[in-house]
Structure 1
């Protein structure tokens, strides 16, 4: 069976194991059902996720001109501490910025390659943890806007990582951690403005990924160089497809590419 569509971040369903879906304009695929099947991936063209044109993707699925113009790619997306909607101050589009920034946000601890701190909208829990390949996570602060979450993350980055080592995450070379203990240890570093929102009593969330075989030496597929690839799917973790020859393909970092998928 052959499918064609533009790659966007896989949709997920929190269950055991987590369910993954590739969503195209006229089709969707439950990727879990492709495990142990041979998949041929072929690059077709670009399609910017904003303007829809066949223009080279610059970042986050957008062409260069869209990336530097649209609010969905503004600096505050990656750096929440730069949010200004709570001050009624526009960056690129105040209406959009208020919609996204002025809603409950979570500062969390997640263990994907090691314990890290992160920020997400409350509506994106546990989706954000799934996307990062975290096998355990916990909320530590729930604040009313993105700015407060951002300054909290910045304060905690001095004492805990804020990045995931994707190779370690994919090899599953990780240790269980007591995130309750980590939360208690980090509480003293939370900024005064966010301290009233500290979450005192909750439990870790544990996540189960559909992986039959973890790669020993993950090799990231660059579809723009190879143009096509064939392999047997043996796992899905984070936003990565894992193949039997240790090749891994990051769907998220290839957003905006139109591909053919042939399932044998």
Structure 2
């Protein structure tokens, strides 16, 4: 079987285990169905997710010019505390910014390599946790806009991590944590503007990833350095493909790369 197209973040469906899908322009692949099979990945060209041109990918699947121009790559995406749509102030495209920023957002705790705080739109729960490879997560506050979520995250990351150690996540050297205790402990640090949105009574969400074999020591596949790679797929966690020889491939980091996949 052969598939060809531009890589974009794998779509997911929560289940036991989570189902993963690679979606191309004219085809899609349920990645779970190729576990334990040989997969050859061949890099063909770049294709910016916005302008579709064969230009080097700068960040988030976009070429450099698109990254600094389009509203979907504004600074507030990665730093939600910079959101200004609630003030009716435009960054790059106010209509788009209002659509995304002025909707319910969740501040959460997730445990993928360690306990970390993060922000996502409510509609992205539990997708965001799956993408981070978290085996457990819990909501702390639900606020009406991205700005309030952002300032809450900034306050809480003084007391808990805000980054995932992707190597620990992929080797599964992760301890279970009592996230309810963490949530209650961090309540005192929530900014005054968001305290009314604290979630008092909820439970952890547990996630099961389709992994047959975890790597002992990860080796990251870089298509610019290794344009053709072949290996046996042993697992999927976060947005990573895990291969038998300890190679891991981050689909999210390679958005905008046009590839062919040969399955044997």
Q: What SS is found at the alignment partner of 2:193?
A: coil
Confirm or deny that 1:160 pairs with 2:160: yes
Q: Map of 1:220-259 to 2, 5 A cutoff?
A: 220-259=220-259
Question: Match of 1:109?
Answer: 109
Q: Map of 1:193-208 to 2, 5 A cutoff?
A: 193-208=193-208
Q: Distance in 2 between matches of 1:19 and 1:189?
A: 36
Q: What SS is found at the alignment partner of 1:120?
A: strand
Q: Distance in 1 between matches of 2:83 and 2:144?
A: 13
Q: Distance in 2 between matches of 1:199 and 1:111?
A: 18
Structure 1 unpaired stretches of 5+ = none
TM-score (norm 1): 1.00
Confirm or deny that 1:263 pairs with 2:263: yes
Q: Distance in 2 between matches of 1:227 and 1:115?
A: 35
Confirm or deny that 1:24 pairs with 2:31: no
Q: Which runs of 4+ in 1 moved over 3 A?
A: none
Question: Match of 2:83?
Answer: 83
Q: What SS is found at the alignment partner of 1:184?
A: helix
Q: Distance in 2 between matches of 1:64 and 1:57?
A: 7
1:146 deviates by 0.1
Q: Distance in 1 between matches of 2:184 and 2:260?
A: 48
TM-score (norm 2): 1.00
1:224 deviates by 1.0
When the two chains are superposed, the root-mean-square deviation of aligned CA atoms in Å is: 0.3
Q: Distance in 1 between matches of 2:162 and 2:194?
A: 18
Q: Map of 1:168-183 to 2, 5 A cutoff?
A: 168-183=168-183
Structure 2 unpaired stretches of 5+ = none
Q: Map of 1:53-68 to 2, 5 A cutoff?
A: 53-68=53-68
Question: Match of 1:119?
Answer: 119
Q: Distance in 2 between matches of 1:33 and 1:88?
A: 47
Q: Distance in 1 between matches of 2:161 and 2:77?
A: 19
Q: Distance in 1 between matches of 2:172 and 2:137?
A: 15
May I ask how many residue pairs the two structures share in their alignment?
Answer: 264
Q: What SS is found at the alignment partner of 1:224?
A: coil
Q: Distance in 1 between matches of 2:228 and 2:58?
A: 20
TM-superposition CA deviations, 1:190-226 (whole Å, max 9, x none): 0000000000000000000000000010110001111
